[in-house]
Amino acid sequence: MFTFNLNILVMKKIYFVLYLLFLTLIVSCSNSKKETHKEISIEKNKINDTLVKATIVTKYTTGEKVKEEVQVIQGTPGEVNAKLDSYKKQVLQEQGEKAHALHQEKQSQKTIKKVKFNLNPKSGSTANGMVMFTEEDGKVTLEAQINGLTPGTHAIHVHHKADCSSDDGKSSGGHWNPTFAPHGAWGSETGYHRGDIGNFSADETGNGMIIFSTDLWCIGCEDETKNLIGKAIIVHQGEDDLSSQPSGAAGARVSCAGIIQ
């Protein structure tokens, strides 16, 4: 009965062409078969504004050639609506999945470098702990946890050589200073060593920690003014006064770790 009604009505065809903007995404991520866009033409019954036919044209470029895929959805108004809706949902879902996959790919391309090692007691101390360097997006973050210290302020630096063999830690050399700057507070206008991390404090139980980030370091890169590998971390008994040359008068070296991969 309903089909009959549709046939006798004077139908005016209205075509809508929907350019789905998000489809440009496909162009950027598919390989040889490139989908340029989709066009959806909708034929409507003028009187009660219901859908009777929908035509989906998908255009592809394969090299120089442009190809079309035509899909016609026909049926009772309810059927066309339902099919078109589910088709739109499917397209949206596919786009979402593609965008997600692209995002995941980018994420996995981002490399995070990490080195982690133990700090060992020196100069007759009990100071030990863990040091971790993480490089991400051109920035290196140092996280150090030190236990067995005397309560109060302690200096921590990057020293020249990954050699903790001597009992006093002096085998690690002086402060790492690839730019031949004076010793100082990190960021100081008058200059500072690339190893001048500074000070941190240990609580009354002798535990301390420090987190420090900079883009002036790297883990294993070519630039020797930035590369931490082959250097050492030294924790001192005393505080770095951030001015005394050549190393801030921080006293004995109580813990040492070689920065190796």
Cβ atoms < 10 Å from Cβ of 130: 15
**CB 248 → Cu ion: shortest distance, Å?**
7
**Cα separation of 259 and 261, whole Å?**
7
In the complex with Cu ion, which residue's Cβ is closer, 157 or 231?
A: 157
In the chain, the amino acid numbered 61 is: T
- For residue 226, the partner it binds in Cu ion, Zn ion, none, with Cβ less than 5 to 8 A by kind, is none
- For 152: left if phi > 0, alpha if psi spans -120 to 50, otherwise beta; the answer is left
**CB 154 → Cu ion: shortest distance, Å?**
10
- For residue 44, the partner it binds in Cu ion, Zn ion, none, with Cβ less than 5 to 8 A by kind, is none
In the chain, the amino acid numbered 198 is: G
**CB 175 → Cu ion: shortest distance, Å?**
6
- Contacting residues for 91 by C-beta, under 8 A, at least 6 apart: 20, 38
Residue ranges of alpha helices (H) inside the chain are: 2-8, 24-29, 77-109
Here the tokens at position 136 are 């991400």
- For residue 122, the partner it binds in Cu ion, Zn ion, none, with Cβ less than 5 to 8 A by kind, is none
- For residue 196, the partner it binds in Cu ion, Zn ion, none, with Cβ less than 5 to 8 A by kind, is Zn ion
- For residue 53, the partner it binds in Cu ion, Zn ion, none, with Cβ less than 5 to 8 A by kind, is none
**CB 234 → Cu ion: shortest distance, Å?**
4
**Cα separation of 165 and 216, whole Å?**
28
Task: Summarize as ranges the residues that interact with Cu ion (CB under 5 A).
Answer: 157, 234
In the complex with Cu ion, which residue's Cβ is closer, 44 or 148?
A: 148
For every residue of 42-58, DSSP letters joined together read EEEETTTTEEEEEEEEE
**Cα separation of 142 and 208, whole Å?**
14
In the complex with Cu ion, which residue's Cβ is closer, 227 or 237?
A: 237
**CB 136 → Cu ion: shortest distance, Å?**
26
Q: Half-sphere exposure of residue 27, counting CA atoms within 13 Å on the CB side?
A: 13
Binding mask 163-202 for Zn ion (x = CB under 5 A): ------------x-------x---------x--x------
In the complex with Cu ion, which residue's Cβ is closer, 73 or 232?
A: 232
Return residues touching Zn ion (CB under 5 A).
Answer: 175, 183, 193, 196
